[in-house]
Amino acid sequence: MRTIHINSAIQSYDIVIGEKLRHQIKDYLPKNYSSILVITDENVVYLYGNDLLQALKGNKVFLEVVPPGETSKSIQVYYQLLTKALEYSLDRQSLIIAFGGGVVGDLAGFVAATYMRGVDYIQVPTTILAHDSSVGGKVAINHEKGKNLIGSFYPPVQVLYDTETIQTLSLQDVRSGYAELLKEAMLANENFFTQLLSISLEQIAMKDLITALETGINIKATIVEQDEREAGIRKYLNLGHTLGHAIETRLGYGKISHGEAVAIGILFAMYVSQQELQVKLPLKQVKEWLTENNYPIALSFEQIDDLVEFMMHDKKVINSEIQMVLLKKIGEPVLHNINKQQIKKYLHSFIM
Ligand code: NAD
Ligand code: ZN
């Protein structure tokens, strides 16, 4: 078992990583709560719901199960959860537990951030991707005009990462989470990057995956500790996300996994870096690895106009210019503003 401590101005907390932690959750509750609302999705409740509920026995516990997938990060599902919380008479001494992947984490975290101006919540991530989403306190739901446009910075009181749960993930969800690991490696650690690309996802050993997860969490933790509210270096974590979010919105939420969309975004960021910064990056190598591991990386010319429009609704647009994260080299990100026409031109030549 390992513990990584996050020093946060809003709320410091521990990320505990280990096997079977879902069975031990009671030992990690930071205090006595008047009641607990567990928010999870249909897949996670089926696989691990009983374990968590058993472990919470003796507390006043309520359970809310949302449909799996990105469409649950909606204003409707959010509102239904608030209604349930009111019907269960949750008060300011209640706790919310987000038990699931990034969707449940972002959604339940936003419920916690806004219910009665904020109640405590614990993240119990169950996907690889959630190594990223459960750390750093960004919580949000989507708007039809764009991803994560309604949200807050609201750290959990605890993150309990039960690494046993990731064994049941589909290959698509492994691909999705692995893309965020690649992103972290590209921002901060060239050796980690090389190591990630030396592995084939079909054959990956669980212990290697868990080691990679811990490295990813450490990179993310180091960045968010320095810049919790994304005024500076935390922006680097958006590598691949400007286009990635536009792809998710354009295709329809849930049609492509978050990480798979980010993977295309990362390739595009590498391509734009080469053009704008006159640098040479291992673009070909990354593209080959993504193709070998069955990432859906094709975009079509008909999508370009819509993608550019969605990119212009991104939170990173300032004075009509898109602030993109580019790379001078692996391990050295920079922020770079690009206007709409230029982005369109680059997307065109990237797709060719
Ligand atoms: P997800 O929560 O939808 O999980 C993916 C799928 O895996 C779902 O069908 C889910 O039911 C299933 N699942 C979850 N745990 C499982 C398990 N242990 N075994 C089998 N199946 C399991 O999606 P995700 O990929 O975890 O997260 C994506 C979301 O995270 C996106 O909405 C993205 O915007 C968000 N995100 C947020 C941040 C942040 O900083 N807040 C960072 C990165 C991503
Ligand atoms: Zn992401």
pLDDT in tens, 118-145: 999 999 999 999 999 999 999 999 998 8
Cα 259 to middle of ligand 2, angstroms: 6
Backbone phi and psi for residue 293, each to the nearest 5 degrees, phi listed first? -100, 20
Q: Considering only CA atoms, which of 325, 257, 237 is closest in space to residue 297?
A: 257
What pLDDT score was predicted for residue 315? 76
Over residues 156-190, the pLDDT tens digits come to: 999 999 999 999 999 999 999 999 999 999 999 99
Cα 224 to middle of ligand 2, angstroms: 14
220 lines ligand 1 (CB under 6 A): no
110 has pLDDT over 80: yes
Q: Considering only CA atoms, which of 265, 27, 25 is closest in space to residue 126?
A: 25
Cβ contacts of 82 within 8 Å, gap of 6 or more: 111, 114, 115
CA-CA distance, 57 to 54, in Å (whole number)? Answer: 5
What pLDDT score was predicted for residue 191? 98
Residue whose CB lies within 8 A of the most ligand 1 atoms, among 173, 183, 236, 255, for a mutation test: 173
Q: Which amino acid is at 126?
A: T
258 lines ligand 1 (CB under 6 A): yes
Q: Which amino acid is at 116?
A: M
Whose alpha carbon is nearest atom 38 of ligand 1?
133
Q: Express as a percent the part of the chain with pLDDT over 90.
A: 94
Instruction: Quote the mean pLDDT of the chain.
Output: 96
Taken in order 172, 50, 12, 18, the sign of the CA dihedral is negative
- State the ipTM, two decimals: 0.99
Mean predicted confidence (pLDDT) in 235-240: 97
254 lines ligand 1 (CB under 6 A): no
106 lines ligand 1 (CB under 6 A): yes
CA-CA distance, 157 to 87, in Å (whole number)? Answer: 24
Q: Between β-strands 158-162 and 146-153, what pairing exists: parallel, antiparallel or unpaired?
A: unpaired
Confidence of residue 352 (pLDDT cuts 50, 70, 90): confident
Backbone phi and psi for residue 133, each to the nearest 5 degrees, phi listed first? -70, -25
**Domain-wise residue ranges, the chain:** 2-167, 171-351
Q: How many CA atoms lie within 13 A of 149 on its CB side?
A: 19
The single-letter DSSP state of residue 30 is S
- Pick the range with the lowest mean pLDDT from 95-109, 197-211, 302-316: 302-316
What pLDDT score was predicted for residue 155? 97
Whose alpha carbon is nearest atom 30 of ligand 1?
102
Token couple for 352: 């060719």
Over residues 45-63, the pLDDT tens digits come to: 999 999 999 999 999 999 9
CATH for 2-167 is 3.40.50.1970
CA-CA distance, 90 to 37, in Å (whole number)? Answer: 8
Cβ contacts of 86 within 8 Å, gap of 6 or more: none
102 lines ligand 1 (CB under 6 A): yes
SS3 352: coil
User: Using alpha carbons only, how large is the chain's radius of gyration in Å?
Assistant: 20
What pLDDT score was predicted for residue 339? 94
Q: Which amino acid is at 8?
A: S
291 lines ligand 1 (CB under 6 A): no
What pLDDT score was predicted for residue 145? 87
260 lines ligand 1 (CB under 6 A): no
DSSP assignment of 263-276: HHHHHHHHHHHHHH
70 lines ligand 1 (CB under 6 A): yes
Whose alpha carbon is nearest atom 21 of ligand 1?
169
Q: Considering only CA atoms, which of 347, 342, 253, 263 is closest in space to residue 297?
A: 263
What pLDDT score was predicted for residue 242? 94
Give the total residue count for the chain.
Answer: 352
CATH for 171-351 is 1.20.1090.10
Over residues 32-47, the pLDDT tens digits come to: 999 999 999 999 999 9
CA-CA distance, 18 to 162, in Å (whole number)? Answer: 5
Q: Between β-strands 95-100 and 36-41, what pairing exists: parallel, antiparallel or unpaired?
A: parallel
Helix H or strand E segment including 105: helix 102-114
CA-CA distance, 182 to 186, in Å (whole number)? Answer: 6
176 lines ligand 1 (CB under 6 A): yes
137 lines ligand 1 (CB under 6 A): no
Token couple for 12: 């410091």
Which numbered ligand comes closest to the C-alpha of 183? Answer: 2
SS3 247: helix
DSSP assignment of 133-170: HTSS-EEEEEETTEEEEEEEE---SEEEEEGGGGGG--
Q: Considering only CA atoms, which of 111, 126, 101 is closest in space to residue 48?
A: 126
